[in-house]
């Protein structure tokens, strides 16, 4: 649970202190009219129950996150948990948060003096048994325990190697004419090296993919390639995620088109020179070194480093890895993790078919078992219901990260 206060008012610190005094006063929570809790609960339930109306590619993200992140939950489970919540449970939870089992972190950025942070800390310290930490203490805590040692873990689940997982679902909203596909290539745990290679591969492939599938083929009105991951901080697995949203074609047709695109890029990747790789890496370096444009942007960078247990010089470490990349590494990575030539690839496709595309998808599934026509994903495991997805989730292993790293 966190609070964020930002703005230009000289009274910002007074607002922060006032809010935190109320929040940390258990008597404030006990005095709330329970009917207010019910009103807020009902508003939350209305929002949660509308999940079927979300864009189908966003629902693909929901199911991918559920499968591959330890703490992710399906919409129906979130609804059930909210329905079971009571006002007494809320007060008990607040009391637990304010007990000495919790930690607090106060971070300020901008023209506030340290007295502001110390004042906020003093408010929290009246309820939380927390020793003050300077930067040295904070780094030691990160090195020895990680931030928030009592926080629930959110580890990534590992996809199997050399087997493509195809999750094919029918639409949850019969009024939506869009079908969606996301294909995720799971690569490696969070590290400067991982970030460097993914940044470069995205720069090499994203624009050609858009030009081919969106501009030339007009496959869908959303076509993108992005860096993504599942899990939290050092317990996350990073990779590349391709996304297509279309009202023209069924998801398996999209997957075949995507597969054909990647196969077509083999010549481009194989004929890259070291000069071209270095030039692309240099462009990324310049973007990483661009100074922040606001206090908010600058503070978010530092705060992310703290809570995600990353070094404050993360960008520099990534830049060093970018400079060291060789054309041979790039070509080998593309062959191994995109084309799957060496048996180490981990990949998954989440497909949601609009009502008018369900017959075509079912025909493709009956013929291919979830693979694409190009046999790009030749060894495919098909999952065709949310229930099967839930069962399969339990069979996946968690990412194990060496605590000393």
Other CB atoms within 10 A of residue 393 CB: 16
Find out whether 189 and 401 touch, Cβ atoms under 8 Å. yes
For the chain, give every residue range classified as CATH 3.30.830.10: 157-398
pLDDT tens for the chain, 405 residues long, are 777 877 777 787 788 888 888 888 888 888 999 999 999 999 999 999 999 999 999 999 999 999 999 999 999 999 999 999 999 998 888 877 776 556 667 777 776 667 777 777 777 666 654 444 555 655 565 555 444 444 557 899 999 999 999 999 999 999 999 999 999 999 999 999 999 999 999 999 999 999 999 999 999 999 999 999 999 888 899 999 999 999 999 999 999 999 999 999 999 999 999 999 999 999 999 999 988 888 788 888 888 888 787 888 999 999 999 999 999 999 999 999 999 999 999 999 999 999 999 998 888 777 766 555 556 787 889 999 999 999 999 999 999 876 555
Give 215-245 pLDDT, tens digit per residue: 999 999 999 999 999 998 888 999 999 999 9
CATH 3.30.830.10 applies to domain 157-398: yes
Q: Looking at residue 307, what is its pLDDT?
A: 79
pLDDT in tens, 238-278: 999 999 999 999 999 999 999 999 999 999 999 999 999 99
Question: What pTM does this model have?
Answer: 0.86
Give the model's pLDDT for residue 99: 66
């Amino acid at each position: 649970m966190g609070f964020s206060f930002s703005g230009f008012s000289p009274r910002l610190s007074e607002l922060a202190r006032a809010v935190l005094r109320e929040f940390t006063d258990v008597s404030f929570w006990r005095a709330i009219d329970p009917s207010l809790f019910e009103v807020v609960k009902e508003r939350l339930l209305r929002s949660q129950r509308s999940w079927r109306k979300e864009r189908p590619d966003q629902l693909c993200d929901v199911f991918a996150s559920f499968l591959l992140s330890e703490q992710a939950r399906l919409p129906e489970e979130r609804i059930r948990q909210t329905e079971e919540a009571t006002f007494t449970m809320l007060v008990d939870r607040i009391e637990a948060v304010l007990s000495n089992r919790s930690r607090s972190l106060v971070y300020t950025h901008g023209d506030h003096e340290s007295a502001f942070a110390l004042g906020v800390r003093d408010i929290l310290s009246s309820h939380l048994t927390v020793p003050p930490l300077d930067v040295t203490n904070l780094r030691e805590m990160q090195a020895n325990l990680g931030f928030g040692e009592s926080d629930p873990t959110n580890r990534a689940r590992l996809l199997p190697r050399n087997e493509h997982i195809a999750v094919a679902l029918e639409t949850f909203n019969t009024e939506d004419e869009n079908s969606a596909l996301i294909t995720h290539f799971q690569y490696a745990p969070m590290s400067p090296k991982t970030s460097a290679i993914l940044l470069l591969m995205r720069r090499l492939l994203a624009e050609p993919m858009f030009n081919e599938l969106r501009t030339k083929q007009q496959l869908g009105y959303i076509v993108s390639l992005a860096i993504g991951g599942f899990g939290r901080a050092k317990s996350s697995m990073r990779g590349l995620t391709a996304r297509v949203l279309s009202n023209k074609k069924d998801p398996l047709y999209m997957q075949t088109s995507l597969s054909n695109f990647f196969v077509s890029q083999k010549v481009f990747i194989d004929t890259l020179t070291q000069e071209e790789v270095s030039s692309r890496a240099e462009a990324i370096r310049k973007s990483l070194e661009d100074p922040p444009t606001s206090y908010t942007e600058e503070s978010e960078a530092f705060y992310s480093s703290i809570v995600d247990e990353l070094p404050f010089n993360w960008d520099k470490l990534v830049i060093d890895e970018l400079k060291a990349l060789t054309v041979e590494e790039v070509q080998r990575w593309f062959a191994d993790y995109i084309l799957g030539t060496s048996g180490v690839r981990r990949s998954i496709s989440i497909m949601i078919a609009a009502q008018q595309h369900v017959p075509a998808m079912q025909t493709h599934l009956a013929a291919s078992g979830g693979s694409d026509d190009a046999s790009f994903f030749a060894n495919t495991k098909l999952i065709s219901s949310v229930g099967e997805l839930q069962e399969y989730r339990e069979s996946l292993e968690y990412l194990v990260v060496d605590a000393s790293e």
